[in-house]
Structure 1
C-alpha cells in the first residue's frame, strides 16, 4: 500500500493546509485509515461506524481485535448519536477538560458504532482532542473516528510523524504530519457509568485535577495488580516496550550504576533511562535523559521518544530510574511498568 504523507501547519486557518486535510478527510470518509496528531500522541483513525474501516486499524497495528478503541469527536453534540446519556459529573468534566487529554466512558446506544470499535461492549470511550489539526480533520469528516495510537502493537507510542512512518509506512492510507505532540502520554480514561467515577488509565489529566471538579474519584485496582485484567482501551496487552529488555530500578542511582557495571563486565551493551539532573552520573554505553525530575510533565512529554531512542542502538539491556507515583507521575510509572513487563529490581 502507498502511504500518502501530508505536512500541515498547526495554524489550520492557513490556506495551504486546506487541501491536505481535505484529502485525509476524504480517505476517512471512504473507510480508509489515516494517522494524525493529537495533543497526546499520534492516533490511527478510522470510521467508527464501519466494520471494514475499524478492521483496517487492527490489521495495520497488528493489534488483537478484543481491545476496545477510543472514539474521537470534534463537537459534544456528536455524543447524542451513540451515547445513551451524559451523567452530570461527566458534563462538568467535559466543560472543564474538553477539548483535552481526558477520555470518558459512557453507556452506549446500540446499532450505531461498529462492534469492532467497542469490542462488543455496551460502553464506549470518547474524547475530544485538543489539537487544531485533529479537530479540523474531525470536523471535515463529521464522523466519530476510532483512533488508538498510531504504532505497531506493543511498541512505544508515536509522538512524531517520523515514529508513525517508521512503524506504519505501507500499512495505512495516509499520515498527516502536524509536528511533535505535546503531552506525550495518552489521555486519562475515566469510567463515568457508575455514581463513583473510576480511573481506568492514568494520563494527561491527574486524579487530583478530576477530584477538584467532581469530588471523589476511584482508581481501577488492576492498575496496581498485575494479576487483574485492566478495563481500559489500550491497557490489556504488553505495551510501550523498546526492543531490548527494560528493568525498573527501585533504588538510588548508585544501584543502577552497580547494575550497569555488572552487565558491562558480562560483555553486554547497556542503556540507562534517566533525567537531566542525573545524566552526568552514569557510565553506560547509552544514556538518554527524558526531561527533568523536578518537572514530571517534561518526563511525560519525552518518555516515548526515550524508549524509541534505544531501538536505534545496539543496547542489550536497559535500566530505568523510577518516578514519584503521584500527579502525572502515575501515568509515567504506569507506562514504564507496562514497557518493562512489570520487571522491577529492588535494592
Structure 2
C-alpha cells in the first residue's frame, strides 16, 4: 500500500524544479531522481551516490510521446519495443537529444531512456513535465533499494524528498537494450527477458558484452551487500557452508529449492524460490536480510539463466565481483 498523496506528488515536482533530489518508486527499484535537463541537479545525484561521473544515468519520461528533444531519433525497432513494453522495465539506448546534458550520459552521445510502470512515478513525471534522471537510490555499488525505508536507511539526508510507493513489484532493474545499430543488443538483463524481446521482434537479440556503450550496472562489483558474496556450485553448497562456519565465519546461505529439506550448518539461511518473478522481486531483500542478521559471508548458487534467471544470475555475479575502487 502506498502512502503517497497528490500533495506529495506536487511537492516532489517542486523539489525537482528547484534542482533538488527526489527518491521515487518504480516497478523495478527506487530511483534517485533529478531534473535531467539541469546539470547542477544531475551532479548532485552523482555526489549523493558516490557514483563515478563516467557512469551514465537513465532518463525517465511519462510516455514515448515525451522523447522529443531527449532522443535525437527513434528508430523503428525502438518504436516497436516501446509500444509493447512501455510503461515497463525496459530501457532503450538511443542517440542523445539536444536537451540532454553530457553530465547525464557520462560524456556519451547516447542516452538511456525508459517509461516506468509505477503509478506514483508516472504521476510525478506527468506533474513535472520533463525528464527525470534517476539511477537506483543507494550508494554506488551497493544493494539496490526496493522500499522507501531502504532509501532512507542508506541515503538519509542526501535526499530532499522521498515518495513512498510501497515495495517494488519487479525487484531487479530494467533490461537495457541498445537500439542505435542494425541489431538490437542487450547491455544489461533485467525485468524484460530476452525471450520476450525476441518474441516481439521476431529475430534474435544479441548480448552486448563487448559493447563500447557504457550503461548502468556494468561495474565488476555492483549490487553488493556488506557481506562478501561467494558463488558456489549447488552440489558443493552445504559442504562449503559447513567449512566456512567452522572457520569462524557468520555464514548466510541462499538455499535453492533443490536443497529445501537439507540440513544446513550456517548462521542464517534464506530459502530462495525458483528463478521467477518471486525470486527477482525478493532478491535484494534477501541480501539486505542477511546483512541485518550479521552475516559476513553469503554463499549462493546461480539459477538457470533462462527468463528472469538471466537477470538474477547477472546481479549475483556482480554482487560477488571484486570490490575494487571505481
Separation of aligned partners in 1, 2:306 and 2:251:
29
Separation of aligned partners in 2, 1:342 and 1:330:
20
Calculate the TM-score normalised by the size of structure 2. 0.94
Kindly state the Cα deviation for residue 84 of structure 1 after the two structures are TM-superposed: 1.6
Kindly state the Cα deviation for residue 277 of structure 1 after the two structures are TM-superposed: 5.7
Judging changes above 3 Å, is the alpha-carbon distance between structure 1 residues 106 and 229 closer, same or farther for their aligned structure 2 residues?
closer
1:288 to 258, 267, 270: 270
**Structure 2 unpaired stretches of 5+:** none
Judging changes above 3 Å, is the alpha-carbon distance between structure 1 residues 304 and 265 closer, same or farther for their aligned structure 2 residues?
same
- 1:23-78 CA deviation, whole Å, 9 max, x = no partner? 01100111101001000000110011111100110111111111000000002222
SS at 1:81 equivalent: coil
2:223 to 240, 261, 264: 240
- State yes or no: 1:20 paired with 2:16: no
1:260 to 235, 241, 256: 241
Note the aligned Cα RMSD (angstroms): 1.7
In the alignment, what sits opposite 1:303?
283
Judging changes above 3 Å, is the alpha-carbon distance between structure 1 residues 177 and 317 closer, same or farther for their aligned structure 2 residues?
same
Instruction: Check whether the contact 1:276–1:289 (CA below 8 A) recurs between aligned residues.
Output: yes
- State yes or no: 1:29 paired with 2:11: no
- 1:185-204 mapped onto 2 (5 Å cutoff): 185-204=172-191
1:113 to 94, 100, 113: 100
Separation of aligned partners in 1, 2:248 and 2:38:
52
2:134 to 126, 144, 147: 147
Instruction: Check whether the contact 1:289–1:306 (CA below 8 A) recurs between aligned residues.
Output: no
Kindly state the Cα deviation for residue 237 of structure 1 after the two structures are TM-superposed: 4.9
Instruction: Check whether the contact 1:36–1:44 (CA below 8 A) recurs between aligned residues.
Output: yes
Separation of aligned partners in 2, 1:123 and 1:33:
23
**Structure 1 unpaired stretches of 5+:** 1-6, 10-16, 223-227
- 1:119-198 mapped onto 2 (5 Å cutoff): 119-198=106-185
Kindly state the Cα deviation for residue 85 of structure 1 after the two structures are TM-superposed: 1.3
- State yes or no: 1:274 paired with 2:255: yes
Kindly state the Cα deviation for residue 250 of structure 1 after the two structures are TM-superposed: 1.9
- State yes or no: 1:316 paired with 2:296: yes
- 1:78-97 mapped onto 2 (5 Å cutoff): 78-97=66-85
Calculate the TM-score normalised by the size of structure 1. 0.88
Paired residues in the alignment total: 320
Instruction: Check whether the contact 1:148–1:234 (CA below 8 A) recurs between aligned residues.
Output: no
Separation of aligned partners in 1, 2:120 and 2:60:
13
Instruction: Check whether the contact 1:158–1:164 (CA below 8 A) recurs between aligned residues.
Output: yes
